[in-house]
């Protein structure tokens, strides 16, 4: 199985950015742990601060199973605003799981709204960087079906 994790805007700052909300671990550490824990799964990773680049990544990797078997997407603030990313997800042929590090349901009202949630296979939120591991666990079930 091959999964692609896409992180959106400001998530390049993980470990430095608002550690009281997002923790002090970097995404590199998180990826190292995921790859150690799931050696049977190929886990690719991309991060972009640009909406169009995220859309291009979904098109490139999600339009056929030749790209990957599933996408784990933390679209950051675009989760709450981007109809364009929602349209890209709706067009994808592989499942997309929405991930958030923080519990967006317990934060400001704008963060309780997800533009992308309705077109995603499911959502994992609020477990810190462990949200990514839980999404990989979910894919083990989704892809086996």
As measured in angstroms, the least distance from the Cβ of 66 to ligand DQA is 28
- Is 45 an annotated catalytic residue? no
111 binds ligand DQA (CB under 6 A): yes
Question: In sequence order, which ranges of the chain are alpha helices (DSSP H)?
Answer: 19-22, 27-37, 51-62, 83-91, 130-144
Q: Is 101 in the site for ligand DQA (CB under 6 A)?
A: yes
Walk across the sheet containing 2-7 and list its strands: 42-47, 2-7, 70-74, 96-100, 122-125
Which of 30, 68, 97, 100 contacts ligand DQA by CB under 6 A? 100
Q: In the bound complex, which residue of the shown chain has the CB atom lying closest to ligand DQA?
A: 76
Q: Among this protein's residues, is 22 annotated catalytic?
A: yes
CB-CB contact of 89 with 116 (8 Å)? yes
74 near ligand DQA, judged by CB under 6 A: yes
Q: Known catalytic residues?
A: 22, 100
């Amino acid at each position: 199985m091959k999964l692609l994790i896409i992180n959106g805007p400001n998530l390049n700052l993980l470990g430095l950015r608002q550690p009281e909300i997002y923790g002090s671990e970097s995404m590199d550490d998180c990826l190292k742990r995921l790859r150690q824990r799931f050696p049977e799964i190929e886990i690719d990773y991309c991060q972009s601060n640009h909406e169009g680049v995220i859309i291009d990544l979904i098109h490139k990797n999600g339009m056929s199973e030749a790209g990957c078997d599933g996408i784990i997407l933390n679209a950051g603030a675009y989760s709450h605003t981007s109809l364009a990313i929602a349209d890209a997800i709706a067009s994808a042929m592989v499942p997309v799981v929405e991930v958030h590090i923080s519990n967006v349901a317990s934060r400001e009202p704008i963060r309780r709204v997800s533009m992308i949630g309705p077109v995603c296979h499911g959502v994992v939120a609020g477990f810190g960087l462990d949200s990514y591991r839980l999404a990989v666990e979910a894919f083990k079930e989704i892809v086996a079906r």
